[in-house]
Amino acid sequence: MIKVGVVGGTGYTGVELLRLIVGHPQAELLLITSRSEEGKAVADMYPNLRGTVDMRFSLPDNDGLADCDLVFFATPNAVAMEQVPELLQQGVRVIDLSADFRLRDAKEWSRWYGATHACPELLEQAVYGLPEVNRAAIKEAKVVANPGCYPTAVQLGFLPLLQQKLVNASSLIADVKSGVSGAGRGANVGSLLCEASESFKAYAVSGHRHLPEIRQGLKQAASTDVALTFVPHLTPMIRGIHATLYSDLSVDQVDLQALYEDCYANEPFVDVLPQGSHPETRSVKGSNYCRIAVHRPQQGNRVVVLSVIDNLVKGAAGQAVQNMNIMFGLPENLGLEAIALMP
Amino acid sequence: MIKVGVVGGTGYTGVELLRLIVGHPQAELLLITSRSEEGKAVADMYPNLRGTVDMRFSLPDNDGLADCDLVFFATPNAVAMEQVPELLQQGVRVIDLSADFRLRDAKEWSRWYGATHACPELLEQAVYGLPEVNRAAIKEAKVVANPGCYPTAVQLGFLPLLQQKLVNASSLIADVKSGVSGAGRGANVGSLLCEASESFKAYAVSGHRHLPEIRQGLKQAASTDVALTFVPHLTPMIRGIHATLYSDLSVDQVDLQALYEDCYANEPFVDVLPQGSHPETRSVKGSNYCRIAVHRPQQGNRVVVLSVIDNLVKGAAGQAVQNMNIMFGLPENLGLEAIALMP
Amino acid sequence: MIKVGVVGGTGYTGVELLRLIVGHPQAELLLITSRSEEGKAVADMYPNLRGTVDMRFSLPDNDGLADCDLVFFATPNAVAMEQVPELLQQGVRVIDLSADFRLRDAKEWSRWYGATHACPELLEQAVYGLPEVNRAAIKEAKVVANPGCYPTAVQLGFLPLLQQKLVNASSLIADVKSGVSGAGRGANVGSLLCEASESFKAYAVSGHRHLPEIRQGLKQAASTDVALTFVPHLTPMIRGIHATLYSDLSVDQVDLQALYEDCYANEPFVDVLPQGSHPETRSVKGSNYCRIAVHRPQQGNRVVVLSVIDNLVKGAAGQAVQNMNIMFGLPENLGLEAIALMP
Amino acid sequence: MIKVGVVGGTGYTGVELLRLIVGHPQAELLLITSRSEEGKAVADMYPNLRGTVDMRFSLPDNDGLADCDLVFFATPNAVAMEQVPELLQQGVRVIDLSADFRLRDAKEWSRWYGATHACPELLEQAVYGLPEVNRAAIKEAKVVANPGCYPTAVQLGFLPLLQQKLVNASSLIADVKSGVSGAGRGANVGSLLCEASESFKAYAVSGHRHLPEIRQGLKQAASTDVALTFVPHLTPMIRGIHATLYSDLSVDQVDLQALYEDCYANEPFVDVLPQGSHPETRSVKGSNYCRIAVHRPQQGNRVVVLSVIDNLVKGAAGQAVQNMNIMFGLPENLGLEAIALMP
């Protein structure tokens, strides 16, 4: 049994992590911390956990974290980087679901996150936790930077095209739509039901924090610089991300369907749909799958890729558990077999 | 392994049953039938099952049903009663999720369902599958009549009061709210997103088919006649039933909280919430729990019970699997441990 | 033209009031105040008003209020009572959409609102602004206490029965469902889309502030004490209240349909539906109508009344404009003719 | 008073047209036809119209249409083209909200709509009813082809760039999201609340009927061929279209904000938002506005335009009334002043 701790378990990512860990046959939850909710029963906050999680939130500076084999950080940005160095010294491995270790360049990180990085020396050793790209490195990693939700959907959609250098990397577009849970459980007016339901809007068109993260991943895949226009949108639903990806073919003859099927043939959580399909976000609600379809409208030179995930599962907690399984030599889908809830 | 067949698996109850059977460690799905979708891959209709269910829909008169240990009927009303007698003769046990075997009185059944019952002789031997009431009989049953969604939520809420004769049985009210999935997957204008979202309404105030079923169950619990006003409402959400139950105390002194906690102390799927609680339907979304709270506003003589279930799980497919577990001597919660998806 | 001021126009009631006043042919908006948003353009906060409202929020202590013929308070509770006395002295008439002047008994008010009333001497002269009951008094009123949303729906549904003494006044039940806008624009976790959509729950079963207000109105109609169980519920939609009202007939022979049709025959905003109907909240979305249906299930002695309003219109801003029309001798439906948006 | 008839008034476009005509001070509704609902009271189907529309649906071959000054067709495609020629001979003017007269090329129309056009000779004389482009011609038109919902949002967003030849016309992308009412009131499984809510998907990526209509309009604006990738998406809400438009600048120096503001300075229903804005679809819910924002992310050469409309108003019935106003010399915003419902 892997002894597991969760730091900052009160947000949506945290409760989703609890749901998955509690159902995982090889993980044992030792403690869950929250400064603001210390002493409160977890199930009082999340009644879906009644009868399953008897634990209370404890303070994050609890010594108990050092007794863990693995600690997940489900904290706001700029928290994990303060605590991770000490945990590593104590031999604890870490999966950080926040953005602290996602960018390799500390200056770039500072530009987008508005703070000085507390442990830039760890950025090189941290492994970006996209299993489809970094499986071998994740296995050995001390610190895994769990990818953002948008970056997961966008990268999995673009990778086959870029790795094979089939499209113009200087003219990529990611038009991405997210459910409201992506904005977290914070009490913001914009996330109220009366503001966000029955409406649709783009936001952060001038620049979103996930842009440099996506760019870094695509650049590595393409082995060249990329130019990406990334426009996120707020969609009136709880869970789900739908990425609509546009790129221009630089070759004439290519079997796109075969390309995608081959690329992901051995991936347990990437499902390439039959030709002509349109994936729905609900087909992955609560599950760790990414479902992808690739189109070439009117046989022109533009490729349209559709990629859907559950932002809280493959886009956060599920991918974190997938990374845990890899790190500890378990079957990659252990504890992640749940089928999406439909309808 | 229990060899299982599903007749009529294209509706919401059917796909939910598939989700649960596929994840059940002691059940093996042999076949799933549908007249209208014969030959179609199940996963083409329900993409959440891609990668898990490779089966195609077959014709319902397939001999394969006779090879099953257990057949679930997830058919419209008045279908199961035509096929069940033959299956019983072949030694197959049956759980019927439709209404065909729920009422003991064939005449009453005809009045509400507008047809002559095809096998009234089976009504006596059929067991009403509410485990909290009929566990012992379910264990031995050849035919289990799986309760309706409204009847499950209402009976579990009222039973402790009626069994202990604490309230006036001639003045009960069940004001019940259901998500739209209760209306099924049929293409009715009233179930369109544009008709049913952003709106709320009552329906069938003059009389709903679940009324005689609830009355039958409450009467048995109370050991006396009951008078019930039952008003169902359509709620703009996919899943969930919330029953608000009103009754008048016929005694002065009673510890209602203790009554409910004691009554359900050993029930694996009934969760009595702490005093003063208000259960949310989302706390059971996708799970087999019924969560209940009992109130006595301003310490008057009126009792208000709040009871929530997922209409497709404890109100249909989950309760059916619970009954299967009981019938086949398995742990009652096997395959039903999934935690509600929240948010 | 009536010169109008609005105090506290940033909430949902406030913006709805603006929408109606701006479209009213006999009202001229002089100013709109908000402490927190002073100087901000109203249309920046509510982009639906772009091109129609050029005004900015001003401070509430602005002298401009004294120049108005009528001031609406759309403030939180316990604010209007501090400012109203001075305005009255300056000859300004007031419609208060908060709860400050709704209860005649200052002690009762204190019990439910947790503060000492600032001007109890005004409670007697304030007129409860339910036009269907108090039209004549509203016409002459200096201060109109605009009814709460739940109280409007419940009273209009119960009044015909109580005024004619046809039901047992000591055993009334109001099971009422509200859209989330009833909770206001405050940034509360419970009102987030991810918390309140795809779920349904009761709240405040032990006692809600609208209970004494409803009781006061029903008592007056019945000319006797009433006992009422009032259970509010949160419904996953933006606008709308649906009241399901239960009472027991104390007479045998009565034509309920005729009773309701006669009672409301001359009311411009109460629409009694044909026998057997079930009103939908969306049929009044954005409109000032209350639509009512009356049922007697299975011809028993229990009456079930269904009453729907838009909580922000007939339950707040629309009723306030209706009261303004009455106070200033205008046609009662002036500026209120808009048809509900459907779908 | 303009004497108005509506053919095919049972769909969402039809009821929206009724809502607007009934509130229009210069229009008088003479009749509304429907084959399937003949004899039924309009208000029985659309209870929001109770108290306002007393009319019943009549048969479409009713002579009454010839008595009208103007007939709106809110019929399925391929119906209007059968009836329009006769009406024109009788001196009746026509606004067709279906697609029958939108494409100038009858062969192109046949390819996309799968039928032979019944009156190709009228295609040249029919005026495409986008007032911002064709105002003068609409004024004189006998037949106005009211634009589709997607084409309205996309064209208004792209026009300033194309008219000024500022972008590469051979590389346009329109990623467009529509509420479910765009699919009409037909009882399709895909439009059920349980299928379309809590989910998001693209559809018709290989080619949508609105593609040739948009292309025709953009080509005219650009005075050159255009290549457009058009991807429509289904969004879990009732009303609203959000177009996210991508194009590549072919010039370096341009003040995009000024360009858009100047272009639409005199348009009553196009609202260019301040720099940096993100329009929400709810800001136009129920109103005839199109709200637009223009962005140039990171000052690159890609332009991102955001354009929102209510698909049933500016995308259908509202634009039809705007066209009526133009055709009959009325103020263009008469009967269209209603403010969007928010929240």
Q: A-chain residues within 8 Å CB-CB of B339?
A: 19, 22-23, 48-49, 52
Q: What pLDDT, on the 0 to 100 scale, is given for residue A250?
A: 96
Q: What is the mean pLDDT of chain A?
A: 97
* pLDDT at D111 > cutoff 80: yes
Task: Please indicate whether, in this complex, the C-beta atoms of A237 and D173 are within 8 angstroms of each other.
Answer: no
Q: What pLDDT, on the 0 to 100 scale, is given for residue B209?
A: 96
Q: What pLDDT, on the 0 to 100 scale, is given for residue D60?
A: 82
A290 is catalytic: no
Q: C-chain residues within 8 Å CB-CB of D283?
A: 47-48, 50
Distance, in Å, from the CA atom of B120 to the CA atom of C66, rounded to the nearest integer, reads: 79
Per-residue pLDDT tens over the stretch C104-158: 999 999 999 999 999 999 999 999 999 999 999 999 999 999 999 999 999 999 9
Q: Is A127 helix (H, G, I), strand (E, B) or coil?
A: strand
* pLDDT at B256 > cutoff 90: yes
Instruction: Tell me phi and psi for residue C315, to 5 degrees.
Output: -85, 0
Per-residue pLDDT tens over the stretch D209-263: 999 999 999 999 999 999 999 999 999 999 999 999 999 999 989 999 999 999 9
Instruction: Please give the interface size between C and D, counted as residue pairs whose CB atoms are below 8 Å apart.
Output: 84
Q: pLDDT band for D61, please (50, 70, 90 cuts).
A: confident
Q: How far is C342 from chain D (nearest CA, A)?
A: 7
Q: DSSP letter at B204?
A: -
Distance, in Å, from the CA atom of D13 to the CA atom of C55, rounded to the nearest integer, reads: 34
Q: pLDDT band for C60, please (50, 70, 90 cuts).
A: confident
The DSSP code sequence of A15-62 is HHHHHHHHT-TTEEEEEEE-STTTT-BHHHH-GGGTTT---B-B-TT-
* pLDDT at D95 > cutoff 90: yes
Compute CA distances C225 → C14, C130, C168, C169, C246, whole Å: 35, 20, 10, 7, 17
Indicate the burial class of C65 (C-beta count within 10 angstroms; 0-12, 13-18, 19 or more): buried
D42-51 in b/e form (b: 16+ CB < 10 A) is bbebbbbbbb
Q: pLDDT band for A210, please (50, 70, 90 cuts).
A: very high
Per-residue pLDDT tens over the stretch C292-332: 999 999 999 999 999 999 999 999 999 999 999 999 999 99
Q: What pLDDT, on the 0 to 100 scale, is given for residue C252?
A: 87
Q: What is the mean pLDDT of chain B?
A: 97
Instruction: Say if residues A264 and A331 touch (Cβ distance below 8 Å).
Output: no
Which is more confident, A322 or C36? A322
Q: What pLDDT, on the 0 to 100 scale, is given for residue A61?
A: 74
Q: What pLDDT, on the 0 to 100 scale, is given for residue B61?
A: 74
| Residue B124 CB neighbours (<10 A) | 8
Per-residue pLDDT tens over the stretch A93-147: 999 999 999 999 999 999 999 999 999 999 999 999 999 999 999 999 999 999 9
Q: Which amino acid is at B69?
A: D
The DSSP element (H or E) to which C243 belongs, if any, is strand C241-248
C295-322 in b/e form (b: 16+ CB < 10 A) is bbbeeeebbbbbbbbbbbbbbbbbbbbb
* pLDDT at B62 > cutoff 80: no
* pLDDT at C30 > cutoff 80: yes
Q: How far is A195 from chain D (nearest CA, A)?
A: 7
Whether omega before B343 lies within 30 degrees of 0, making that bond cis, reads: yes
Residue of B180, B188, B194 to mutate for D, most D C-beta atoms under 10 A: B194
Domains of chain D as residue ranges with CATH = 2-125 (3.40.50.720), 150-312 (3.30.360.10)
Give Cβ neighbours of residue A306 (< 8 Å, ≥ 6 apart).
Answer: A157, A242, A243, A244, A245, A278, A279, A292, A293, A294, A295, D201, D202, D205
Partners of A128 in the β-ladder: A145
> Residue C44's closest CA among D81, D335, A322, D277?
D277
Per-residue pLDDT tens over the stretch B88-137: 999 999 999 999 999 999 999 999 999 999 999 999 999 999 999 999 99
Instruction: Tell me phi and psi for residue A94, to 5 degrees.
Output: -135, 135
Per-residue pLDDT tens over the stretch B150-191: 999 999 999 999 999 999 999 999 999 999 999 999 999 999
The conformational region for residue D299 under phi > 0 = left, psi -120 to 50 = alpha, else beta, is left
Q: Is C178 helix (H, G, I), strand (E, B) or coil?
A: strand
A315-335 in b/e form (b: 16+ CB < 10 A) is bbbbbbbbbbbbbeebebebb
Could you tell me how many helices (H) and strands (E) chain C has, helices first?
10, 13
Q: What pLDDT, on the 0 to 100 scale, is given for residue B63?
A: 82
Q: How far is B86 from chain C (nearest CA, A)?
A: 38
Partners of A293 in the β-ladder: A306
Task: Please indicate whether, in this complex, the C-beta atoms of C238 and A180 are within 8 angstroms of each other.
Answer: no
Q: DSSP letter at D223?
A: T
Closest residue in C to B310 (Cα–Cα): C199
* B318-327 vs B12-22: helix crossing angle, rounded to 10: 50
Is this complex's ipTM strictly greater than 0.90? Answer: yes
Q: pLDDT band for A252, please (50, 70, 90 cuts).
A: confident
Q: pLDDT band for A28, please (50, 70, 90 cuts).
A: very high
Q: What pLDDT, on the 0 to 100 scale, is given for residue D63?
A: 82
Tally the residues of chain D.
Answer: 343
> Residue D310's closest CA among D203, D184, D153, D196?
D153
Q: What pLDDT, on the 0 to 100 scale, is given for residue D9?
A: 84
Q: pLDDT band for A23, please (50, 70, 90 cuts).
A: very high
The average pLDDT across D83-102 equals 97
Residue of A46, A181, A194 to mutate for C, most C C-beta atoms under 10 A: A194
Q: What pLDDT, on the 0 to 100 scale, is given for residue A58?
A: 93
Q: What pLDDT, on the 0 to 100 scale, is given for residue A60?
A: 82
**Among all chains, which residue has been given the structure tokens 């001359």?**
C266
Tell me the torsion sign for CA atoms C209, C214, C217, C222.
Answer: negative
B119, B149, B263, B290: the catalytic one is B149
Indicate the burial class of C39 (C-beta count within 10 angstroms; 0-12, 13-18, 19 or more): exposed
Instruction: Say if residues B229 and C297 touch (Cβ distance below 8 Å).
Output: yes
- The pTM assigned to this predicted structure is 0.98
